[in-house]
Amino acid sequence: MAKNLTFKLKSGDLMPLVGFGTYQIHGEELIRDVLDKALGAGYRLIDTAKVYHNENEIGKALKELLPKYNLTRKDIFITSKLSPQDQGDKAYEALQHSVHNLDCEYLDLFLIHWPGAFGTNSASNNNSKLRDRSWELLVQGVKDGLTKNIGVSNYNVKHMRAILQKNHGIIPAVNQVEWHPHYHQADLKKLVDKEGILLQAYSSLGGTNNPDLLTDKTVVEISKQLGKTSAQVLLRWSLQQNIAVIPKASSQKRIEENIKLDFVIPEEDMQKLSSIQFQNKYAWDPDTIA
């Protein structure tokens, strides 16, 4: 099953290619319920962020649920992210807070969530200075054992080239970006592949409460041919490009379906999905950030 697929990061750590996203999932009871279902279905990567406001609930739920599935801390991969509010000198302290909130000893991956800084004009060069300072402090966080790996999110080619040039001794392990047949950047994929950086997709199924991607004619046609759901086809499309995915769901059925990706989309159909003419970005646009 897809739950066994992993990517070897530069640190040597194995990162699951299929993880469980927790954006917009709130409340102690709901968090516990969905993580119970996710762990039972085989997910071993949990993705969160400070701005999701659920780190505490996730930490508490994992403490309770891991023993239920005979798992320990080392059996799961926990990702969190630096808030734009903490970009710059606050980055190290923010990393400490995420580890504390999740009550998990260390993080497996900590990402700079956004290339811009809260309260800084998007066109200002201060954005690049602040994210460079964040990276410098997160490199120290790796050395101090707060997180095993560090990476970025929503970085475009320009942002990636800058951090590769001035990396303070560690290049990003992961770049988490919006990626689906309606929006994908070939130049970004080429750059990260060359550097051995893993792309991880978010919004794989389209925008929140926006069915355009799931009901896309080409997606639906291929899903019917393969006897799979539209969501499964979209997730598998990324996986076959060696791009990790973090689908979010709350129902048992969807949670289980989203990890059952042990099928192959024929190359002809992969090309059809990659060549869909309709293009639409469903999430925030990092190209506005200097």
Whether 282 is a known active-site residue: answer: no
> What are 201's strand-pairing partners?
177, 245
* 113 annotated binding-site participant: yes
CA angle 4, 49, 2 (to 5 degrees): 15
Cα–Cα distance measured from residue 211 to residue 185, given in angstroms and rounded to the nearest whole number = 21
Cα–Cα distance measured from residue 25 to residue 105, given in angstroms and rounded to the nearest whole number = 23
Burial 192-230 (b: 16+ CB within 10 A, else e): beeeebbbbbbbbbbbeeeeebbebebbeebbeebebbb
| Phi and psi, residue 237, nearest 5° | -55, -45
DSSP state of 125: T
Q: Residue 290: is it exposed, middle or buried by C-beta count within 10 angstroms (0-12/13-18/19+)?
A: middle
- Angle at which helices 186-195 and 157-165 cross, to 10°: 20
Q: Which of 23, 43, 52, 92 is catalytic?
A: 52
Q: Residue 81: is it exposed, middle or buried by C-beta count within 10 angstroms (0-12/13-18/19+)?
A: buried
Cα–Cα distance measured from residue 146 to residue 156, given in angstroms and rounded to the nearest whole number = 26
- Angle at which helices 230-239 and 267-274 cross, to 10°: 100
* Residue positions annotated with a catalytic role: 52
